[in-house]
Chain A
Amino acid sequence: MELLRTLVLSVAVLGTAMTIVAYLTWIERKVAARFHNRVGPYYVGWPHGWLQPLADVLKLIIKEDLRPRRADALLYELAPVLVVVPALFGFALLPLAPGLAVLDHPYSLLLFLAVGSLALLGIFAAGWGSHNAYALLSALRSVAIAVSYEIPMILALLVPALLAGSFRLDDLVQRQTGGAWFIFAPVLGQVSFVVFLLAMLAEANKSPLDVVEAESELIAGYNTEYSGVKFALFYAGEYAHTLALCGLAATVFLGGYLGPAFLPGPVWLVLKSLALFVLVLWIRWSFLRVRIDQVLRLNWRFLFPLALANLLLAAFFAVRTR
């Protein structure tokens, strides 16, 4: 009986998550167009191109699925899967309603982060496997960035966990009932939210920290040699990873499924994640790219100490109120 419930719930969550991921590309193109005083996709699906994601997926599927002759077969084929699966796994942990989550684990916050960083393996496998100088260079860069930005991300998430006294995402959300979202916590909330936001930008390769896939230098980064379905998987993986991180940020900082009653819980979670996604888009389409050494300097000299100090402050604050 338990198995059946989880099966049904996970199919439902995965289904909605994948459609939202598909429509993220549409949202991004529309929002970017607004920033550029353009209109964005218009003709596919008449009023405003709402069929565009379907068209993109179909286009990518019918493309020839090739593999460079001297590529490392196993790594090359495995890479897209390794990128998509960890990203999708994140959705299983996010609590949709009090006590309702596909996988309700006492340490779900840490589990989310652990599985999330597996995607890095996929990117490196793609870079190394496709036997291409540019892809290799970009794979090296992605390892450097992911490793260095993992730490501030975890430290930023420890602060709400400390305040709520538990690693279980559902407890975190329960702790934020009554509008006491963690982002409103006096100093701790804002600082850890900003640190998490910057770490998310680097983790999900969004400009201004998207040095992993910098066209003007590395052509197309790790997915230079991919086309067709494999490229579509990479594309979906990247958006799913971003949405999962936005979902996590919404759950931890903006009170997940909490909200006035006229909308069911999960809808609130989706709305908050999309709001954060548009914020990420706003940042992405405004800033120029930062150089690779500046990205690393930003982390080790600014973000990491800030996150540590913030955690110390939170610990002091938590002990005093306990």
Chain B
Amino acid sequence: MGSLDLEALAQGMGGKVHPLGIDVPREALLPALTALREAGCRYYLLCTVTEVASGFEVVHGVRDVEANRTVFVKTGTGKDDPRVPSAVPVFAGANWFEREMLDLFGVVFEGHPDPRRLMMPDDYPGYPLRKDFPMATPWGYRPATDAEAP
């Protein structure tokens, strides 16, 4: 990947650097991913979503295999409108990962070629991996917070 300087890339996109990679605003996600791909990060690793106080944080992992360097591109979204541009046009590998995040978190990836649920049946109520998803199960309540742990 040569001496791609994450600092410069993050600044350019109006974001900042964090220990695992760079954090860019929603609009700059696709340009950042394309820039990384041009700089040699052609291997697509994973896409994950973490529910943070301010909303959902979408993370794309890309890697430069020759230079053995992995960069995690983060972007935040609001709690009420979890919309993020889909990375499938840049990396074909993001297809299933984004469908899984849509399925489990309800984050909508705009421009995704096949936005169906991946794991759950199509008529499954709600998004299971959200913190507020009720954990009550027919065979008894399972502890969700510290207070109720055994």
Direct touch of chains A and B (CB < 8 A): no
Which A residues contact B (CB, under 8 angstroms)? none
Which B residues contact A (CB, under 8 angstroms)? none
